[in-house]
Structures are given as structure tokens and as C-alpha cells.
Chain A
């Protein structure tokens, strides 16, 4: 542990070390076994259900949404006002009033439809940022793990510099530098999370580098790339998946926080963090405008976290069962 002088130890390090040793070959049988183990984890199942639900609405958004997400009801529906309370006919809302399941927002748009469409935005944000961070992070981690002490030191110290900044602050600065757009916010969040994956990857590389079969492969003239592909990746893939799953939740939250501060998604795009940020001062006069996207945001992060936890529990043999 003391070899990480920057002091920025990845929170997942112990698990990683464990996993790196554990998951070796991936035969069909082993795969089926781990699938069974995953499904035996309650939290993983709940997480999967939540994520499945989110994917369903994201894919079917056009059919589920009752209105186009960016259309105002002003001048379309008689008497429509911004921030009208929810009107649901079966719950006693007069039939002559147009139905809006979650009411209208500050621009008199249907909140339910915006929430539904917002799930697309959030899922894309989560997957794309984490994927980008994993690709770059693994590359850095692999290089650092394989190459000399000097390059390793340089790379990992740069990762320490990145880690030493509180993530949101660094993202805040990056977004301001690049101009506040959703895409740039995603870049910022991706950059901020690179060090975690770099560390995971480097740990995996280090754990196998000195093992006999790798030394043997090297002696036989196998290229670094091949060693990486055949020997390291199978070991690294599990901790990367676990970290990545947990990271999706974090990424969604961080982009939402940037949106809340008005530095990410731009109007009129339906994005939950922006929806909360735009209407945060209406907490008392129109609480549904905050509760609805707040619940969805919580649910999304919860889903990925539960799944990530479940995966870890299932795939880490050192946890007592």
C-alpha cells in the first residue's frame, strides 16, 4: 500500500486485488456459474430490474410520452399556465381539463413527457462517459503497469494530480474552459474519472506481471500487446466491470450536478439535473417539478449501484458466503 505515495488510494483497491487473483479463465461453465451467482444476489437483481425499467422507458420514450417533450401548452391548451399542478383524470381531476400526469413545468411543457425523454439523456450520459473513461484509463493503466518505473511514476503522479482535485471542482473548471454544453460536461466527468480506471488496470497488470506464466510468455517472445490481451485483460475485466457499473451512477450524478449549476445540458433538452436546477426555486410552489426528476435521478443511480454491489459480491470469492 505504501507504494502509492500520492496518497490517493482507489477505494476499490482491496476488491481489485482480490478480483485480480480470482477470475482467471472464462469457460462457458464458469460464465454460467457466475451468472447464477449474480442472480442469487438480491441487490443485483433489484438493480437489474431498475435498469431494465429505465431502458424500457428510454427506448419506448416516443410511445410512452403523452406529449412532445419540448412543446409548450401555452396557446395550445386553453388556460394552460406554467407550473400547473398534475391533473390525472382517474384521480378526480375534472374531465374537461387536459390530463398531465406530472403537471407542467416553467415553460408549460408536460413534465411526464420530459421525464420519460430525460431517461434517454441520462443513460447515454452514464454509458458514454464511463466507456470513454474506461478506454483512456485502461490504456494509461496498462502502459504504466508494463513500462519502466519512470514512466509508471510519471503517469501515476499525473493521475494523483487529477485525483487530488475534488472531482466536481475539476469538472466545474473544465466545463467553464470548454464552454458549458452537455457534451463538454461529459468530457469533464470522463476526465475526472480516468484515474480510477487507470489504477484498476495498473493493479491488474502488476498482479500478473511477475507471475510465472507471464514471464514464460515473455521469454517465449510474446509481444506485450498479446500478453495484455491474453493474460491481463481476462483478469482486469471483472474489476473494470464492477468499477464501471458503480461509476455510471457517479457519472450520472456528476453531470446532473453540473446541469444543476447550469453548466451542462442546455435548454430545451430534457435532462433531469437541468430540470431540477431550473425549477429549484419553485420547491414550495410546485414541488412536483423537483420531486419527479429527483426520484428518477435517485432511481437511476440506485439501480447501477445495486447492480455494481451485487456484481462485486457475486464475483469476489473472498467475501464469505
Chain B
């Protein structure tokens, strides 16, 4: 029976030979140096994001008070300066702001950002000079992505990549250990500058299934869980051993909408879009597929956000009118409108039960004579199609607040820089938005957003459906049981009914712990426990409060913000917090040519989104033509 074909051994030898050969060929892998990739794209400039691996870490590691962040700008005397007095970024200034139609400029190239410079007149003061007023400044600096790291720590840990799995913040809890796949352990930081942690230690665990999270809670293995399933709200509320926590004031800072791309049939006809706006029974969706406390959306932006609900509201449901509008557009029983309902099956605050919502929509559309098929798309493909304007059906998508500000909702979707999801942008909506985001005057802003919202109702690029409520569940006796509208529950502020350790379970494991370059809420929550920004969000609300600053004061038109830093704050590794740390933490995100501009993907997505753009944007390797 045993036959040993000779060719097999030959193939084996060939394979081994090939492996050896390839192994000895230098640098063909993706980890290859920029020079290797340049062969395929000769026009590409050297990738500066690779720079830190090329540049040996000659930065002084002993003294955080040194000024190493200006390393690329060849100023040898700067490192001699003992104090940070007079420090600024960029070192020599030179940022030219955009002025009307004249584009901004830095280092001979276009600069689209809104930060002009960051200065430190002394160790405890940082001044942010902006190109145009930014009334959302405090909300932005309070965002976890802009938490402050020690500059010395960054210089050693960013080049080595250690910052992806380690944290050195100023928070009440310090990172003990990240047990990959299982849990993250924290312990109380004794040198904390504020109210000490209520618990000696904290544990963050995760499970993607809401049923599994609830089982863990009911079995007493964890003290708190995020995102109770819509149907489990009642279970939790009726269980005397458990308590339900919802955000204060019931603020649901997210929106599910039904998008329509007006560049394609049949959505190019405004009558059809208006028919959808009045043809959907939003109340039925909210009643049946959302947890208690969710609201029918009347505007794109939730009303809890200032200026969100200025202007016209979307009309009430009216089946007759819907059928009538469709009839005018040429669709009737004999010639029904056919389309698809496109969605992605992920659980978000705005769509806790996506497949069920899609299936109910299908039935609702049938009631106004629209024949719709359901098309579930893989999540990434769906986003890709949406961004490129390739979704030709009625698509279910939503948005959750990054920070509670109206621009985070409207500008991202309807501004001139928005994606093509709804087709070409509507100038009637975009124009008032550009007025609203460049003024600090409340009355002027209210007027601008009223105009924008009314234009949205008139144009119907999409139909807002619901603002989904969410709730966390805790075992009875946990104090304070938190539910943050922007998902930053602070473990240090919770105490279990007994013992000195709090155990909390979220949806998923963080990708990395370097939140400057993270967009994932699960990572942000893990970071927030140890990391702090100049400002932060008060427990259970979306109100900001000073944390590492004693305060940040705007000038008259909010185009300059002066932050006074708290004194005597130390990082977990013992380093002292000072102005240099703030500058470095911001500069490494801001300046694409900064040697520390490296993260898990080095995209720092939030920075250009919130502050307008990078310095030396071309230093991010140019996209191939």
C-alpha cells in the first residue's frame, strides 16, 4: 500500500529552497523600508511616519522639561533652554491662517487646520491660538483622544511601540496589567491630584453578547455592564438585586436615519424623498425595537445638543399624503416603486436591533405601496459604499456623538466636506452650516442652525428615525451607578456594595491603549480610566469640567483660549505634569512631520476632523496618483 511518489519529495525540496531563497532576499516584506516601496511608486516621497524607526532615539530621556518635540526643526539652542518659558509650537511660528478664499499655509504648503499655534508662556500656562473662533473648544479638549501624556514617556514609548499596550496618565487609576483576551486590571494611584479613587482596584472585562453580559451580572461575577439589551431593560428593572442606570436627563446622543442618495433614481425626485419622510411609522419602530426612553427623531441632531432642534421639525406620519406624493411622482399600484433596504448588522445605540428594524421597515414600505428587498451588507463594505455614494437603496445608518456639539452631527454629514452618501451636497444646507461654525455669537448660531435644519426638512437628504436610549445595569448597592451619554463611565467613581474592587463589563476588548489614534469607544473607555485631558466630562452628563487645567478662558471672540494648568499633578511614573506635556501631546497629533506622529494606524482620524487638518499634511505620504 505504501507508495512514495518521488515528485512529492521534489516539491518539498523546491518549497524549502524557495523559502530559503525568499528569506535571504533582503526587504521585500510589508515591513520593508520606504526605499523598497519606492521602486513601485517612484514619485512617492519618503514616508515620514517611518521616520522614528530610522531616527535613533537621540532624544534625552531623562528630562521631560527639555524641549525635544521640536527635534525636526533643527534648533540646537532650544534644547539648552532649561525652562519651558516662551516655548511654542511650531517653534518658529509661521502658520498662515486661511483668510476668506485665500488658503492657509505652513512650510510652503496648504494648511487647512484651525490651530495657529500652541504656546507656553510659563510652565503652568498653555495658550491655543486659533485661526477662527471655536466655541466648542472645551468639548473638544475634553475628548479622551486629547488626553495628556508625559512628553518624556512619549519619547521613549512611542518609537518602541510600547504606548500601544501601556499607559502613563494622571488619572485616579493606574494600569496594572492587560491580560490579552480576558481583562484589564487597574489599581488606585496614590499620588492622584483630585479626589482619590473610591476603590482600591478595578477590572474591565468584555463580552460581545448582551445575554452573556447579563448572565455575568446576574451571577454576581461583575458589578456593572454596558448596553443592556432592549428587551432586558424590564428584566433588570424588575430584579431587586439589580439596578438600571440611564444617562441623566435621558440624553440620547445618537441618531438613526434612512439615507437616500439624490444622485440616483428614484431618490432624485424630491417627491419620493418627501413621501418617505411622511410614510414611515417611526413611533412603531421606537415602541417595538428600541429600549424604553428612546425618542422619535424630529431633527437630525438630538435636541439635547444645543442648537440641535432649531428650525423646522420633520412632519408627522401621514400614509395618505405619502401615497399621494408617490402617485404624483408616477408610482402607483400598477407601477409600484421598487427598491432595497440596505443596512449593516451591527449593534449600535442608534440601532439596537438592526435586522428587526429593517424587516419592519420592509413591511411598512409595503403599506405605502413600495416593494423593498432587504440587503444586509458586511459592515466595512457598507461604510465603503456609503462613503462613495454607492448605496442606491434606502439605507439605514446612524451616528453617535463623538462630543456633544451640533457641528459633530451636521457638518460631518451635510457640510461641503461630507461624504457622497446622500449624493452631491445640498448648498442650501451647507451654506448656513459654514456660518454657524465660524461664529461665537449664540443668536447668530441659533439663526444659522434654524436655517440649516429647515433646509434639511425641505430637501430630505435623509429621514431621521430615532434617538436610541441606552442603559447600563449594576448590581444593587453600587454607588454611583453610572451611564454616560458619551460612554466614559469612570470606574474610580463607583464603589461596589462590598469589597474594594469594582468589576465592569463592556462590549469588546480595546484594540490598543493608545487613544490618540483610536476611534473605538471600547478603547476610549479603557483609556479614560487612567488618562485625563485639560477638561473632562462630569459623571453621567455631557457637561465639561476642568481636570488638568484649573480653567481655560477664551478671548472675546473665542479665537484664543488660555488654559491655566493645575499645579502639583504627577503622572503614574512620577513625572511632573507641565506645559511641555500639553504641547507635545497636541503637537504629535497636529504635525504629520513630527517624529512622534505614530500610532496603531497613524491616522489620528479625530484630529483633522475636530481641528481642521494636520500641519505638513503632505508629510503624510502622498496618495499614489
Contacts and interface: CB of A to CB of B under 8 A. Distances in A.
Partners in one complex: yes
Interface of A: 2-3, 71-72, 74-75, 81-83, 106-108, 149-150, 153, 176, 179-180, 262, 266-268, 278, 280-286
A281 B374 contact: no
A2 B1 CA distance: 8
19 contacts: A72-B359, A74-B360, A75-B284, A82-B356, A106-B356, A107-B359, A150-B5, A153-B5, A180-B378, A266-B374, A267-B358, A268-B359, A268-B362, A281-B232, A282-B211, A282-B229, A282-B231, A284-B211, A284-B232
Given A107-B356, A108-B288, A150 B7 contact: yes
A83 B229 CA distance: 13
B608 interface: no
B214 interface: yes
Nearest to A280: B211
Contacts of B54: none
B2 A286 contact: no
Q: Which of A74, A107, A268 has the most CB of B within 10 A?
A: A107
Contact of B345 (A72, A262, A285): A262
Interface residues of B, number: 31
Contacts of A280: 209, 211
Interface in B336-389: 345, 353, 355-356, 358-360, 362-363, 374, 376, 378
Interface string B453-464: 000000000000
B376 A281 contact: no
B32 interface: no
Given A2-B2, A267-B376, A83 B345 contact: no
Contacts of B7: 150, 153
A81 B374 CA distance: 22
B231 A74 contact: no
A74 B284 contact: yes
B179 interface: no
A176 B284 CA distance: 33
Given A82-B288, A108-B288, A281-B210, 10 more contacts: A2-B1, A3-B2, A74-B288, A74-B363, A153-B7, A153-B8, A281-B232, A285-B229, A285-B235, A286-B231
Nearest to B215: A284
B234 interface: yes
B307 interface: no
A236 B363 CA distance: 51
Contacts of A74: 284, 288, 360, 363
Interface of B: 1-3, 5, 7-8, 209-211, 214-215, 229, 231-232, 234-235, 284, 288-289, 345, 353, 355-356, 358-360, 362-363, 374, 376, 378
A4 to B, nearest CB: 10
Nearest to B285: A74
B541 to A, nearest CB: 28
Contacts of A286: 231
Contact of B374 (A2, A83, A267): A267
A81 B231 CA distance: 11
A214 B209 CA distance: 59
Contacts of B345: 262
B165 to A, nearest CB: 27
Given A75-B284, A82-B288, A283-B211, A149 B356 contact: no
Contacts of B360: 72, 74, 107
A196 B543 CA distance: 63
B231 A83 contact: yes
B9 to A, nearest CB: 12
A74 B289 CA distance: 12
Contacts of B358: 267
A176 B377 CA distance: 11
Contact of B355 (A2, A82, A153, A267): A267
A266 B375 CA distance: 8
Contact of B1 (A3, A284, A285): A3
Contacts of A281: 209-211, 229, 231-232
Q: Which of B215, B360, B363, B376 has the most CB of A within 10 A?
A: B363
Nearest to B1: A3
B480 to A, nearest CB: 26
A284 B3 contact: no
- The 8 A-B residue pairs with the shortest CB-CB distance, nearest first, are A281-B211, A285-B231, A3-B1, A281-B210, A106-B356, A281-B229, A153-B5, A283-B211
A57 to B, nearest CB: 24
B353 A106 contact: yes
Nearest to B367: A75
Given A180-B376, A267-B374, A285-B235, A278 B356 contact: yes
Contacts of B289: 82, 106
A37 B355 CA distance: 49
A229 B453 CA distance: 75
